[in-house]
Protein backbone atom coordinates (compact mmCIF):
# COMPACT_ATOMS: atom_id res chain seq x y z
CA UNK A 1 0.00 0.00 0.00
CA UNK A 2 2.84 2.39 0.71
CA UNK A 3 4.32 1.95 -2.79
CA UNK A 4 0.95 2.80 -4.35
CA UNK A 5 0.68 5.99 -2.29
CA UNK A 6 4.15 7.11 -3.34
CA UNK A 7 3.42 6.42 -6.99
CA UNK A 8 0.10 8.17 -6.69
CA UNK A 9 1.65 11.27 -5.09
CA UNK A 10 4.46 11.30 -7.68
CA UNK A 11 1.80 11.10 -10.39
CA UNK A 12 -0.09 13.99 -8.75
CA UNK A 13 3.07 16.12 -8.59
CA UNK A 14 3.80 15.46 -12.27
CA UNK A 15 0.19 16.18 -13.19
CA UNK A 16 0.26 19.47 -11.27
CA UNK A 17 3.56 20.45 -12.86
CA UNK A 18 2.21 19.63 -16.32
CA UNK A 19 -0.99 21.56 -15.61
CA UNK A 20 1.02 24.58 -14.45
CA UNK A 21 3.17 24.39 -17.60
CA UNK A 22 0.12 24.17 -19.87
CA UNK A 23 -1.60 27.06 -18.06
CA UNK A 24 1.48 29.27 -18.36
CA UNK A 25 1.54 28.51 -22.10
CA UNK A 26 -2.14 29.44 -22.37
CA UNK A 27 -1.54 32.72 -20.57
CA UNK A 28 1.32 33.57 -22.92
CA UNK A 29 -0.78 32.67 -25.94
CA UNK A 30 -3.65 34.81 -24.65
CA UNK A 31 -1.49 37.92 -24.31
CA UNK A 32 -2.11 40.47 -27.06
CA UNK A 33 0.01 40.04 -30.17
CA UNK A 34 2.49 42.78 -30.88
CA UNK A 35 1.04 45.03 -33.57
CA UNK A 36 3.34 47.40 -35.42
CA UNK A 37 4.17 48.84 -38.81
CA UNK A 38 7.54 47.34 -39.74
CA UNK A 39 9.75 47.72 -42.76
CA UNK A 40 12.33 45.14 -43.83
CA UNK A 41 15.13 45.98 -46.21
CA UNK A 42 15.63 42.77 -48.19
CA UNK A 43 18.35 44.31 -50.37
CA UNK A 44 22.14 44.17 -50.16
CA UNK A 45 22.31 47.97 -49.68
CA UNK A 46 21.82 50.36 -46.80
CA UNK A 47 18.60 52.35 -47.25
CA UNK A 48 16.98 55.45 -45.79
CA UNK A 49 13.23 55.38 -45.11
CA UNK A 50 10.69 58.21 -44.89
CA UNK A 51 7.10 57.46 -43.85
CA UNK A 52 3.90 59.39 -44.49
CA UNK A 53 0.57 58.77 -42.78
CA UNK A 54 -2.57 60.45 -41.49
CA UNK A 55 -3.07 60.82 -37.74
CA UNK A 56 -5.71 62.61 -35.65
CA UNK A 57 -4.15 66.01 -36.50
CA UNK A 58 -3.78 65.44 -40.26
CA UNK A 59 -0.94 64.39 -42.56
CA UNK A 60 2.54 63.85 -41.18
CA UNK A 61 5.80 62.68 -42.71
CA UNK A 62 8.73 61.36 -40.69
CA UNK A 63 12.26 60.28 -41.53
CA UNK A 64 14.89 59.03 -41.65
CA UNK A 65 15.14 55.46 -40.50
CA UNK A 66 18.46 54.03 -41.66
CA UNK A 67 18.29 50.30 -42.30
CA UNK A 68 21.24 48.03 -42.85
CA UNK A 69 21.20 45.47 -45.64
CA UNK A 70 18.73 42.71 -44.76
CA UNK A 71 17.63 44.64 -41.66
CA UNK A 72 14.17 45.40 -40.26
CA UNK A 73 12.88 48.34 -38.25
CA UNK A 74 9.63 49.17 -36.48
CA UNK A 75 8.40 52.47 -37.93
CA UNK A 76 5.21 52.81 -35.84
CA UNK A 77 4.54 50.95 -32.60
CA UNK A 78 1.11 49.62 -31.67
CA UNK A 79 -2.00 48.81 -33.63
CA UNK A 80 -2.30 50.58 -36.95
CA UNK A 81 -4.93 53.30 -36.96
CA UNK A 82 -5.18 53.76 -40.72
CA UNK A 83 -5.38 51.67 -43.84
CA UNK A 84 -2.94 53.57 -46.07
CA UNK A 85 0.69 54.41 -45.36
CA UNK A 86 3.22 55.99 -47.70
CA UNK A 87 6.91 55.19 -48.09
CA UNK A 88 9.81 56.88 -49.79
CA UNK A 89 13.17 55.11 -49.65
CA UNK A 90 16.67 55.89 -50.89
CA UNK A 91 19.38 53.34 -51.68
CA UNK A 92 22.51 54.78 -50.06
CA UNK A 93 24.95 52.32 -51.62
CA UNK A 94 23.81 51.80 -55.22
CA UNK A 95 21.73 54.91 -55.77
CA UNK A 96 18.11 54.95 -56.83
CA UNK A 97 14.92 55.09 -54.84
CA UNK A 98 11.57 53.53 -54.11
CA UNK A 99 9.06 56.26 -54.91
CA UNK A 100 5.55 56.88 -56.15
CA UNK A 101 2.95 59.48 -57.09
CA UNK A 102 1.85 60.65 -53.63
CA UNK A 103 3.87 63.79 -53.01
CA UNK A 104 4.78 64.72 -49.46
CA UNK A 105 7.39 66.82 -47.70
CA UNK A 106 10.84 65.57 -46.68
CA UNK A 107 14.23 67.02 -45.90
CA UNK A 108 17.80 65.76 -45.79
CA UNK A 109 18.12 65.55 -42.00
CA UNK A 110 15.87 63.84 -39.45
CA UNK A 111 12.38 65.30 -39.63
CA UNK A 112 8.75 65.28 -38.58
CA UNK A 113 6.71 67.51 -40.87
CA UNK A 114 3.01 68.33 -40.52
CA UNK A 115 1.06 68.81 -43.74
CA UNK A 116 1.80 67.91 -47.34
CA UNK A 117 1.10 71.23 -49.03
CA UNK A 118 3.60 73.85 -50.22
CA UNK A 119 6.67 71.76 -49.35
CA UNK A 120 9.12 73.91 -51.31
CA UNK A 121 7.64 77.21 -50.08
CA UNK A 122 7.99 75.96 -46.51
CA UNK A 123 11.66 75.11 -47.04
CA UNK A 124 11.27 71.33 -47.47
CA UNK A 125 11.89 68.94 -50.34
CA UNK A 126 8.95 67.41 -52.24
CA UNK A 127 9.26 63.64 -52.64
CA UNK A 128 7.02 61.05 -54.28
CA UNK A 129 5.91 58.32 -51.87
CA UNK A 130 4.42 54.96 -52.86
CA UNK A 131 1.20 53.81 -51.24
CA UNK A 132 0.95 50.78 -48.98
CA UNK A 133 -2.57 49.40 -48.48
CA UNK A 134 -2.65 47.42 -45.24
CA UNK A 135 -6.24 46.29 -45.82
CA UNK A 136 -7.10 47.65 -42.34
CA UNK A 137 -4.90 45.04 -40.65
CA UNK A 138 -3.70 45.96 -37.17
CA UNK A 139 -0.10 44.95 -37.95
CA UNK A 140 1.84 45.08 -41.24
CA UNK A 141 5.35 44.49 -42.58
CA UNK A 142 6.60 46.18 -45.75
CA UNK A 143 9.47 44.54 -47.63
CA UNK A 144 11.78 46.50 -49.91
CA UNK A 145 13.46 44.35 -52.55
CA UNK A 146 15.83 45.02 -55.43
CA UNK A 147 12.95 44.75 -57.93
CA UNK A 148 10.00 46.53 -56.26
CA UNK A 149 11.01 50.14 -56.77
CA UNK A 150 7.69 51.70 -57.90
CA UNK A 151 8.46 54.74 -60.00
CA UNK A 152 12.11 54.51 -58.98
CA UNK A 153 15.29 53.39 -60.64
CA UNK A 154 16.37 49.73 -60.72
DSSP H or E stretch at residue 112: strand 111-114
| Confidence (pLDDT) at 149 | 59
Please write the tens of the pLDDT for every residue from 25-55: 333 334 345 679 999 999 999 999 999 999 9
| Confidence (pLDDT) at 100 | 96
| Confidence (pLDDT) at 35 | 76
Whether 8 has a pLDDT exceeding 60, the answer reads no
| Confidence (pLDDT) at 134 | 93
Whether 154 has a pLDDT exceeding 80, the answer reads no
Please write the tens of the pLDDT for every residue from 115-149: 999 999 999 999 999 999 999 888 999 999 987 65
| Confidence (pLDDT) at 34 | 64
Residue among 104, 109, 133 nearest 120 (CA): 104
109: left (phi over 0), alpha (psi -120 to 50) or beta: beta
Please write the tens of the pLDDT for every residue from 64-115: 999 999 999 999 998 888 899 999 999 999 999 999 999 999 999 999 999 9
78: left (phi over 0), alpha (psi -120 to 50) or beta: left
| Confidence (pLDDT) at 75 | 94
Amino acid sequence: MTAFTLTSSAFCRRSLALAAFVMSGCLLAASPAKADLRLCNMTSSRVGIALGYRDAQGWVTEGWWNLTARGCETLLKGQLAGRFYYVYAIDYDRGGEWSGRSFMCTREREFTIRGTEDCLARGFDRSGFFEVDTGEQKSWTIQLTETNRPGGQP
